[in-house]
Chains A and B, each alone.
Chain A
């Protein structure tokens, strides 16, 4: 078996995840679903932050916009949730294009500020247009359904596979981008924008492409999340999700393929296992992030990679 082959790796991961189905514990399966969704979103975010080196805070607005789009279409306009999912992806795609066209013209902290502003503005809009969003109460969202079979917590196996599909899609998306010319361009921009420009890479267009590509799947994840949990609300636009996604990326490994997914699993299960440390959760996340940034810049996934590499080289020589 060639473990370096991406398809083989995907199969192994999918198999490992499916193995947890044997646990038959709804709670564990529910946590796994959350891990997979969060991991998918963190992976998407990683395309721009980790691979291109452009730090922005628009990912949660993408996620939540996807959720609200589908929710409003299903609840207020009576559309089918499946259409809602597609619409969510489209809406976020257009939104990210619009934002990207304007925001990516600036760099560094200024980009950060602009995307931070988007989060606040979206929150204000959600709270203001109460006829559409129910304001601070949030919307109760019906679940996705196939021939009457609801896809939510009470019928958790279909939801599980759906989430798995979203996560695998994210990984495939990241891999395809990194393997392509666009991927080379992204990494070259991160390493040295000047060098990249001298080789004919257009920073603005490349960043825009990465930005938009990393958004649509996040929108669909956001819509699925809303239908799975049965609700969407302004609390999603707070710092909670931002910290979760950010910590997953950072602790798992910025600019690595499996890092954000690993980070997501580690954090969700850490959170649940150490119930006694609940109160200290932000502190633990914070310390882990700082430690990872300083000592393990490539994240915890690098431990796995190094050990694998060491074993492989030992096998050879």
Chain B
């Protein structure tokens, strides 16, 4: 059943998928780790990032140097707004976890609806960022796949550097660990929270551009990455950046191998089964805190 010809392509596909999943999950994990909030509008932010890039590319005549930053900066500010209007009023009150989940879900609905109304339901394409293909080890890989395989770890590296080496990053980690202790040291939790949601949203926007360039844009394109991000977070350990990285690549490889050797129809159910088993028997995942 395992065709040796297909093993190398499967591994390479798995790594590329892993990078994509990591990018999609990063923003979500960050927000959970710091705010203990599951931002269910993350998928919609991914979609927004893709469409913002499309609009800017259209207006600027195909200039990615303008589109990519725009797709990160605008969601960045949208993240602030989201925090201020939706999350902050519900934090700390009764049932905050549930309520924030519902409220962010509602926000996602609103964003998707607005995109359908103002831009339309037809699929749109983003021009490939790095066109062409390369032949590696006898397998053809899309240059975009290669780009993703570099960008994934690069993003993670930058994020880790930020969190470990910079003062702001340390503030974020402090609040994540213990916001009372952080307050004692003079760190304003609310500010950190706001910035975290903003950064998480910017990451979502970035993921949206890459996904849109590799696949296509549609108003509901954020749904699948969001679900996969949940898989990744649970497997890797909710709130752990390191866990997200490992989790993403493991899920990517499992996904690829399932598609290649079992069948495309079974890939999703297999992932769901793993998802369920992890939740039942090791909810903290690989690196999470119980």
Contacts and interface: CB of A to CB of B under 8 A. Distances in A.
Interface of A: 49, 53, 55, 102, 105-106, 108-110, 112-114, 116-117, 120-121, 124, 190, 243, 246, 250, 254, 279-283, 285-287, 289-290, 293-294, 297
B211 interface: no
B155 interface: no
Nearest to A102: B280
- Binding site secondary structure of chain A: helix
Contact of A285 (B109, B268, B280): B109
Nearest to A55: B98
A280 B102 contact: no
Interface string B111-129: 0111011000000000000
- Binding site secondary structure of chain B: helix
Contacts of B275: 113, 117
Given A110-B283, A280-B117, A289 B234 contact: no
A271 to B, nearest CB: 14
A117 B113 contact: no
Please provide the 8 A-B residue pairs with the shortest distance between their CB atoms, ordered closest to farther: A286-B106, A286-B110, A282-B113, A55-B98, A289-B106, A286-B109, A294-B89, A282-B109
Nearest to A50: B95
Contacts of A287: 106, 110
Contact of A53 (B93, B95, B272): B95
A285 B106 contact: yes
Given A116-B230, A124-B269, A294-B89, 14 more contacts: A55-B101, A106-B280, A106-B283, A109-B38, A112-B38, A113-B279, A117-B272, A282-B109, A283-B109, A285-B109, A286-B113, A289-B102, A294-B86, A297-B99
B268 A124 contact: yes
B94 interface: yes
B113 A109 contact: no
A148 B106 CA distance: 45
A297 B102 contact: no
Contacts of B228: none
B110 A283 contact: yes
A246 B102 contact: yes
A293 B276 contact: no
Interface in B106-155: 106-107, 109-110, 112-114, 116-117
Given A105-B280, A106-B279, A297 B94 contact: yes
Interface string B162-181: 00000000000000000000
A123 to B, nearest CB: 10
A134 to B, nearest CB: 18
B103 interface: yes
A246 B99 CA distance: 11
Contact of A117 (B86, B93, B276): B276
B97 interface: yes
B181 to A, nearest CB: 22
B212 to A, nearest CB: 22
5 contacts: A53-B98, A116-B230, A246-B105, A279-B116, A286-B107
Interface string B225-242: 001001000100010000
A55 B114 CA distance: 27
Q: Which interface residue of A113, A124, A246, A289 has the most chain B CB atoms within 10 A?
A: A113
A243 B234 CA distance: 24
A24 B227 CA distance: 46
A289 B95 CA distance: 15
A121 B276 CA distance: 11
